[in-house]
Amino acid sequence: MNAAAPSDVDPDDIRAFRAFNRFFTQRIGVLRPYLGSDLSLTEVRLLHDLAHRDGCTAAELARSLALDPGYLSRVLRRFSAKGWLERRHARSDGRARELSLSPAGHAAFEPLQERSRREVAALLAPLTAKARRELIEALQHAQALLDPSQAGAPAPQRTIVLRDPRPGDMGWVIQQHGALYAQEFGWSDAFEALVAEIVAGMMRAHDPAWERGWIAEIDGERVGSVFVVRKNAETAQLRLLLLTPAARGLGLGGRLTDECIAFARAKGYGQLVLWTHANLVAARRIYAQRGFRLANSEEYEAFGQPLVSENWELDL
């Protein structure tokens, strides 16, 4: 039995809302094979959530995406049969299993993500900067109105942006690396000095045709960074991936890494490499999930600590 429309809603408002729905779904291609794949919109959204979470249970996915558990189970079985899923015991409950994308799953998702970005960019490109801002603010306002909190007030929205670096950002990158690594790992100011040297070298030799960086913001506040620099004609290097504590748990580390991989592939590099340390567990998990492999490691003393240096590689 279909629910009746509330009698106090103006029929003209209902017609206008439905007309916009028809316009928007047609404009973003929901009614076509989604993003040129053989996956449905729901399946692509499920891949997106798995790619940007650091593990989650099937029950959590069902709740967050409002999916029928039976339907979700069938989709996850198909993903598993394709080799797109990895399972591990949940950290909060050893009886439950957490799901994440395997390297093959990330490889399947990344072209869809890149095509989605290109299609949105194509929609926004004809607009002036002012018109784009008006559109984004209108969409955010509509989302706030349609997603009220339990108290009935508009839910606070967190605007997450990945943007190009601007003047002043590189000083922030140096300061944040020095402060966070001292607080969280006890590293000395020698690490901040090293980061300053890396940043200075990147800025002096920056080649915009082959290199790029991203600054992550939440509600206008800088919370993260990452860069791709050119080592040689065949190899790019991922550098200075950082998230402040306020940005963790939102999938931003994965998003920043995905941007680097997509950029390196688009530029025709054959390999993406990076340098990290064995104690940076969260970052290492992000790299492993995307198919990076540990090439070599070495124990050494640096920054006032005994450390294990690691070099990772991803064939593109």
Torsion of CA 299, 302, 304, 305, to 10 degrees: -20
Closest by Cα among 244, 238, 246 to 286: 238
- 11-146 folds as Arc Repressor Mutant, subunit A (1.10.10)
Reported as a pLDDT band with limits 50, 70 and 90, residue 1 is very low
> Per DSSP, what are the bridge partners of residue 155?
none
User: 221-230 and 235-243: which strand pairing?
Assistant: antiparallel
In three-state secondary structure terms, 197 is helix
Reported as a pLDDT band with limits 50, 70 and 90, residue 141 is confident
Reported as a pLDDT band with limits 50, 70 and 90, residue 313 is very high
Query: pLDDT tens for residues 155-168?
Result: 455 678 899 999 99
Query: pLDDT tens for residues 47-102?
Result: 888 877 667 788 888 887 788 888 888 888 988 898 988 888 766 555 677 888 88
In this prediction, residue 203 carries a pLDDT of 95
Query: pLDDT tens for residues 119-130?
Result: 888 888 888 877
What are the residue ranges spanned by the domains of the chain? 11-146, 160-315
Residue predicted with more confidence, 252 or 136 = 252
Does the pLDDT value for residue 114 go beyond 50? yes
Mean pLDDT, the chain, integer: 85
In this prediction, residue 152 carries a pLDDT of 44
Span 160-315: which CATH code?
A: 3.40.630.30
In this prediction, residue 34 carries a pLDDT of 61
Query: pLDDT tens for residues 168-198?
Result: 999 999 999 999 999 999 999 999 999 999 9
Residue 69 DSSP code = H
What is the pLDDT averaged over residues 36-44?
76
Reported as a pLDDT band with limits 50, 70 and 90, residue 29 is low
Residue predicted with more confidence, 107 or 236 = 236
What is the pLDDT averaged over residues 285-289?
94
Instruction: Report which listed range, 14-28, 115-129, 208-222, is most confident.
Output: 208-222
Percent of the chain with pLDDT over 70: 88
Whole-model pTM: value is 0.54
Closest by Cα among 5, 261, 238 to 111: 261
**Is residue 293 packed enough to be buried (19+ CB in 10 Å), middle (13-18) or exposed (0-12)?**
exposed
Does the pLDDT value for residue 270 go beyond 70? yes
In this prediction, residue 275 carries a pLDDT of 96
In this prediction, residue 154 carries a pLDDT of 45
In three-state secondary structure terms, 40 is coil
